[in-house]
């Protein structure tokens, strides 16, 4: 159990560092707006898996719903409603511009999570069968 938590902790930290580096240093038209949004759901997934190491079958779907919900709240100017427009860190974390393409990227990220999870589960089952 602790081995799984460590794996997801490392994954979380590595992906979080990549996200921070993208946010600070990459200002292009592809990596920051698309890859960054695909990775952010993976960061969330790894973070949740630290605390729920056995996982939940529909966890990628729940992560997608959460991320899409946050994006929809951006449409309703959540940052301004909460009075956080002058707090740069929270404005970046919550986001302040709604874009349906972000929701598509979250879906792609969650699809990748699901595919990797299924592949890893099948590999682990084959390993157990061969032992």
Flag whether the pTM goes above 0.75. yes
Q: What is the mean pLDDT of the chain?
A: 94
pLDDT at residue 1 tops 80 = no
The predicted pLDDT at position 42 comes to 98
pLDDT at residue 131 tops 80 = no
pLDDT band at 61 (very low <50, low <70, confident <90, very high): very high
> What is d(CA 89, CA 44) in angstroms, rounded to the nearest whole number?
17
Structural domain boundaries, residue 9: 2-130
pLDDT at residue 54 tops 90 = no
> What is d(CA 22, CA 13) in angstroms, rounded to the nearest whole number?
14
- Grouping H, G, I as helix, E, B as strand and the rest as coil, residue 28 is coil
pLDDT at residue 98 tops 90 = yes
What is the total count of domains within the chain?
Answer: 1
HSE, side-chain direction, 13 A CA sphere, residue 131: 6
């Amino acid at each position: 159990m602790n081995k799984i938590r460590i794996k997801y902790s490392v994954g979380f930290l590595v992906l979080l560092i990549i996200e921070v580096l993208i946010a600070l240093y990459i200002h292009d038209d592809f990596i920051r707006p698309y890859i960054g949004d695909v990775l952010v759901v993976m960061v969330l997934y790894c973070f949740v898996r630290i605390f729920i190491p056995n996982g939940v079958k529909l966890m990628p779907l729940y992560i997608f719903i959460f991320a899409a919900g946050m994006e929809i709240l951006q449409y309703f100017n959540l940052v301004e409603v909460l009075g956080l427009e002058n707090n740069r860190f929270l404005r970046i974390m919550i986001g302040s511009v709604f874009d349906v393409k972000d929701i598509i990227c979250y879906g792609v990220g969650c699809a990748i999570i699901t595919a990797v999870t299924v592949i890893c589960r099948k590999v682990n089952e084959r390993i157990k069968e061969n032992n």
